Amino acid sequence: MGVVNSLTDGHRAGFACFVGRPNVGKSTLMNALVGSKVAITSSKPQTTRRVIRGVVHRPDAQLVIVDTPGLHRPRTLLGERLDSLVLSTLTEVDVIGFCVPAGDPIGRGDRFIAEKLAGLRKTPVVAVVTKTDLAPRDRVAEQLLEVSRLGEWADIVPVSAADGENLDTLTDVLVERLPEGPALYAGGELTDEPEQVMVAELIREAVLEGVREELPHSIAVVVEEMNPREGKDILDIYAIMYVERPSQKAIVIGNKGARLKEVGTNARKQIEALLGTRVFLDLRIKVAKDWQRDPKQLRRLGFYD
């Protein structure tokens, strides 16, 4: 065996994605596997709207993780786009992780997704029982049994993103299902999501933090410009936050602008941590009436067909 051959021999590379109903811990799990904050998490369901990839680098394998929005029944136009996005993602990956939390009873949402997955005969599905730190041992065991009855799984792995339980095992199990081949991404690269999109997601997360009850899904953020300031080690970012109604604008702005200011500060700190540079953030807010139901507005806000 030559030197060149031995470099790729046995090396595996490919794509995985996690599906599951909203809030089961998909984004958190991906972050824990990748080891860096590349997807956005929040205690509010359905915060993930874009496909974001993170890359797990190992000497023997490279696992590219595609994060999907929660697979759910469409209600608004935005919902319908999410579902077609999810389904097209599912046929393009090498392995799927189907996430069900350890502590929750299996419900209609889980069954709905299990049925969809049964229709994708070619792609192996690993069932992942998440958040094991939140459930007693016997409950986790019971859940493993119940999940095994939901469908034909390539494997079942209980994990906790919070305390790290079985994360290596899960990576091993996913890697086993990847085709042999050389690495797809260069060494230090963690995500191929454009920086602008990640910055917009961080801003949206900061906005949602304070007002989750009042306006759960009515906020979109667009980063219009990102420019290094001449002669200074600082990045100027101009972003616009869209809400659906004037009343929502008032909530986000807060008393004498106090809330907006706080959101701006929090978002700026997150962006600085992500990009490793000082940031000036110009954050404006606009009303785009009923943007979730309007195809033209959706395109403008970056949700393409």
Ligand X SMILES: Nc1nc2c(ncn2[C@@H]2O[C@H](COP(=O)(O)OP(=O)(O)OP(=O)(O)O)[C@@H](O)[C@H]2O)c(=O)[nH]1
* Residue 165 to residue 279: CA distance in whole angstroms: 36
CB 34 within 8 A of CB 190: yes
* Near ligand X in 170-199, by CB under 6 A: none
* Residue 64 to residue 70: CA distance in whole angstroms: 19
- Closest approach of ligand X to the CB of residue 130, in Å: 6
Q: Segment contacting ligand X (CB under 6 A): 19-27, 76-84, 88-96, 113-121?
A: 19-27
163 is in an annotated binding site: no
23 is in an annotated binding site: yes
- Site for ligand X (CB under 6 A): how many residues? 24
**Residue (67 or 235) nearer to ligand X, CB:** 67
277 is in an annotated binding site: no
Using the rule CB under 6 A, is 166 a contact of ligand X?
Answer: no
Using the rule CB under 6 A, is 70 a contact of ligand X?
Answer: yes
27 is in an annotated binding site: yes
* Residue 159 to residue 129: CA distance in whole angstroms: 6
- Closest approach of ligand X to the CB of residue 25, in Å: 3
69 is in an annotated binding site: yes
* Residue 285 to residue 218: CA distance in whole angstroms: 13
Question: Residues 13, 14, 25, 173: which binds ligand X (CB under 6 A)?
Answer: 25
Binding mask 38-57 for ligand X (x = CB under 6 A): ---xxx-xxxx---------
Using the rule CB under 6 A, is 204 a contact of ligand X?
Answer: no
Q: Which of 177, 176, 136, 178 is nearest to 160 (CA)?
A: 136
- Closest approach of ligand X to the CB of residue 99, in Å: 7
* Near ligand X in 124-163, by CB under 6 A: 130-131, 133-134, 160-162
Using the rule CB under 6 A, is 22 a contact of ligand X?
Answer: yes
- Closest approach of ligand X to the CB of residue 75, in Å: 14
- Closest approach of ligand X to the CB of residue 229, in Å: 34
**Residue (61 or 90) nearer to ligand X, CB:** 90
Q: What is the bridge-based pairing of β-strands 61-67 and 155-158?
A: unpaired
Q: Tokens 């595996």 map to which residue? A: 12
- Closest approach of ligand X to the CB of residue 30, in Å: 8
* Feature table: binding site for GTP: 20-27, 67-71, 130-133
Report the interface residues with ligand X, using CB under 6 A: 20, 22-28, 41-43, 45-48, 69-70, 130-131, 133-134, 160-162
